[in-house]
Amino acid sequence: DAKTTQPPSMDCAEGRAANLPCNHSTISGNEYVYWYRQIHSQGPQYIIHGLKNNETNEMASLIITEDRKSSTLILPHATLRDTAVYYCIVRVSGNTGKLIFGQGTTLQVKP
Amino acid sequence: GAVVSQHPSRVICKSGTSVKIECRSLDFQATTMFWYRQFPKQSLMLMATSNEGSKATYEQGVEKDKFLINHASLTLSTLTVTSAHPEDSSFYICSAGPDGHLEAFFGQGTRLTVV
C-alpha cells in the first residue's frame, strides 16, 4: 500500500472550513484514498473514501487531484467536536479492512 | 455505518494474568477482523488479521503465543493477552467491514492496564 504524508497539526476556527491535505505520490491505479478520524480515547471513525472522482457525504468532501498524487479532506463547517487526529490512508480495495496508519494530522478547532 | 463493538472498554489486571478482549460485528458478518494496538501519543499499529475458521495472521514482531486470537464465528473475534506484563498496557482496537464493502469500521477500543 502506498505511503501518505500529512502535516502533523493544523488549527481551524469554529464555523470555518477545515482543509486537510494529504500527499500520496506513489499511489497505484487500483488504490483508494480513505480518511478516518480518531477522537481522543476512541476507536477511529470512517469519514469518506474515493478512487478518482471527488466525493461528498454528510460528514465531509474529498477532493482528489487529477493525477491522484494528493487529496484534500474538507470539513465545511468545523465544530469543536471535530477536534481529532485525521488519518489519510491509501489501500487496494477488497473485502478486508486492513489499514496501515501513518501519524495523521491533529486538527484543533478553536472557538 | 456498520457497528463493531468491543468488550470490555477498560480492564485492569495483575501482572502474569491473562485478559480476553471481545470484538463483535453487531449487524453484519465478517470473515476477517483486524486487531490494532495504540500506545500513548502514537498511531495505530496493526497486530494481526483474524480469519474466521482458520489461524490468525500476525504482523512481523507480534508474538502469536502471547496474543492469542480466536475467530470462531462470523460475528466474534477474541484477543487474549497471555501472561500480561506492564509493557502490554495499551489501547487495543479491533476493526471489521462487511464482506464486499470497501469501508472498515472500528470498535470503541479497550484500555488495558497491567499492574
Give the pLDDT confidence of B35-63 residue by residue, as tens digits: 999 999 999 999 999 988 889 999 999 99
pLDDT digits (tens, 9 = 90+) for A51-61: 999 999 999 99
B10 touches chain A (CB under 8 A): no
**pLDDT recorded at residue A92:** 74
Q: Which cell numbers hold the place of A33? A: 484514498
> What distance in Å separates residue B109's CA from the closest CA in chain A?
5
Mean pLDDT of B75-89: 97
Quote the mean pLDDT of chain B: 93
Where b means 16+ CB within 10 Å and e means fewer, B39-48 reads: eeeeebbbbb
Mean pLDDT of A68-88: 97
**pLDDT recorded at residue A98:** 78
- Count of positions (residues) in chain B: 115
Residue A39 has pLDDT above 60, yes or no: yes
Say if the Cβ atoms of B43 and A46 lie within 8 Å: no
- In chain A, the N- to C-terminal Cα span, in Å, equals 37
**pLDDT recorded at residue B99:** 74
Mean pLDDT of B66-87: 95
Q: Which chain B positions have a beta carbon within 8 Å of A50's beta carbon? A: none
> What distance in Å separates residue A31's CA from the closest CA in chain B?
11
Q: Which candidate from A43, A87, A104 shows the least CB-CB separation from B93?
A: A43
Q: What is the rounded distance in angstroms from the CA atom of residue B43 to the CA atom of residue A46?
A: 16
